[in-house]
Chain A
Amino acid sequence: MKGLNISVLVKPVPDPGCYESIQIDPQTGILVREGLPNILNPADKHALEAALQLVEQHSGRVVMVSMAPPNALETVKEGLAMGADEAWLLSDRAFAGADTLATSRVLAAGIKKLGLCDLVLAGSESADGGTAHVPSQVGEILGISHLTNVTWLNIDTDANVRARMKMENGYIEVEGALPMVIGVSRGMNVPRYTSLPGILAAQDKPVKVLGLNNLGLDPGSVGLAGSPTQPGKLSRPELKRQGERLEGEPAELAKRIVAIMRSSGVLS
């Protein structure tokens, strides 16, 4: 095996710290996300870290692939600063409103367009949609093996893959061979920080923006039109409760809590 060509799928997402302030427009019923700062999806940094470590071990190249609006470029550059060699932004009005299958078709087309690719790494779930579908669906569309929720990964020089996939109370060990798509669980590693030299180097790294036509996709297979799922109404879950304040010294507070435990039937 002469070095690894790795694509890392990265998704710019609104900063999860701001999700409490997301509003639903009462008139249109659409999410108001304007003004929320975008960050690189936290899980994707673990995927990128895994890619960078594999390339340190085997040599090779790391190209990030992202489907997002053009203004996401700034966010994607953080990955270049971490050490990725190149970024491809797949951007087209026709991609808007995609469900996971339509998203995966675009990402798979981007990866095919890249040509030689031994390994595709993704985060195991995004912070915003959070379906955890995309790694498996990209694998299916590319017609190659895939695994997700992977907590440990080893690739030898003959392109054999050994991986541990997280299960409820443990893991399952799986063997296969490249090419493969792998969804990286946050337990796999600790992503590196971006360094100043990294940030400076990122300025000169190649960034490509591709649309529907460059990717040779049928407009009916992407975006809302190409999505088998269709969204309906949005709402916010009702989480609020009465919130009675208990006051007093610790002994008094404890006494009140004991009384509540009794009345709710967990203490006799």
Chain B
Amino acid sequence: MEKKQVIWVIIEQVQGKTAAVSLEVLGKACQLAAEAANAQVVAVALGSAIGPLAQQLPKHGADKVFLVDDPRLELYQNDTYSSVLRRLIERERPDVVLIGASASGEELAPTLAAQLGTGLAAHCTNLRLAADGTLTMLVPAFGGQVIGEIFCPVQRPQMATIKPGVFSPVGLAERTGEIVQEDGASLLYDAEIRLRATRLVVEEPPGMPIEQADVIVAGGWGIGSRENWRLLEELAKEFNGAVGCTRPALDQGWTGGEHTMIGSSGKTVRPKLYLGAGISGAAHHMVGIKDSGVIISVNRDKTAPIFQFSDYCVAADFRDVLPELLAQIRRAKH
């Protein structure tokens, strides 16, 4: 019989709350474990006073949880987090380590991979685990125009990061798992801490998080002004939806902020319906919406590339169509 594969998912928490991406990755790990028939899913949670959070992880697919609870781990910081994880990985020797590509995960993963001298695949769009333990990692490059297979044939663990919104979490209300308390003092020495994370400033953005919205109204450079942008906001509001943007629109300062940018360096979304206006359809943007239900686009240039990537194409000025659309939607709702 082949050796039982062990898949680790590093759980990110911010202020005692599990990051959505960690549960998404845990969901994928469960699926990989099922594919490889004989695999175990282990969640590893680091933080301070995060016992309650760890208790929840089996319900999201963890067969086992390593919990490192230490006041020095309250805030993420690369040399504390990587020291603890490196020691645990060297001791337990998992076959696969998966990490959410959040801002901190994007730093933690390459740090750990370099310490372990192993390979890391970045921003995987899919993963497959064969029964012999070979992990096939699919990664985007050139702004998403190219997808490459990546393997890590010799070194272990095989490591991969996954962006938020790519996979779905699982809920297994009945599932229980073993929770193993680790001793922070033997995994982290004060002398190796060179950086100090002094404070975390988070502002919960108002409104529906774009990853969770069923309807996204997105705008680009073609919207032209903050004034015009309000039209997108009003449309989105009719659906309790969210407004997304391209990078040029973000740079103009018209939008709700960086958390609303969609694309290869922003969010991956899959609403039931995406309505884009004043967007040309660069691959950098389109890869972020490719799994959306219906894509409707409004662009005054008949030849705009976005039309090739849309289900419905409206070659018109958004200033003519969207106010009329808003009025009709409001009428339809009354």
A residues near B (Cβ < 8 Å) are: 14, 16, 19-20, 22, 24, 31, 99-101, 104, 125, 127-134, 136-137, 139-141, 145-149, 165-177, 187, 227-246, 250-251, 253-258, 260-261, 264-267
Contact = CB atoms under 8 A, between A and B. Distances in A.
B153 interface: yes
Interface stretch (B64-72, B182-190, B225-233, B308-316): B308-316
23 contacts: A20-B145, A130-B265, A132-B122, A133-B109, A165-B104, A167-B200, A169-B203, A169-B259, A171-B200, A176-B196, A228-B118, A228-B154, A231-B148, A231-B151, A234-B147, A236-B146, A242-B311, A244-B312, A254-B327, A257-B275, A258-B328, A260-B296, A261-B329
Interface residues of B, number: 97
Interface of B: 14, 19, 75-79, 102-104, 106-107, 109-111, 113-115, 117-123, 125, 136, 139-155, 194-205, 214-215, 239, 241, 258-259, 264-265, 272-273, 275, 282-284, 286-287, 290, 293-296, 305, 307-316, 320-321, 324-325, 327-329, 332-333
Contacts of A100: 110, 120, 122
Nearest to B319: A250
- If over half of A's interface residues share one DSSP class (helix, strand or loop), that class is named, otherwise mixed; here it is mixed
Given A133-B120, A228-B155, A257 B296 contact: yes
Contacts of A265: 272
Nearest to A140: B114
A266 B215 CA distance: 7
A132 B78 CA distance: 15
- If over half of B's interface residues share one DSSP class (helix, strand or loop), that class is named, otherwise mixed; here it is mixed
A132 B102 CA distance: 12
B153 A230 contact: yes
Given A231-B148, A242-B311, A266-B273, A258 B329 contact: yes
A256 B315 CA distance: 13
B114 A128 contact: no
A171 to B, nearest CB: 6
Given A22-B145, A172-B75, A230 B110 contact: no
Nearest to A175: B196
Contacts of A236: 145-147
B153 A168 contact: no
A210 to B, nearest CB: 22
Contacts of A250: 316, 320-321, 324
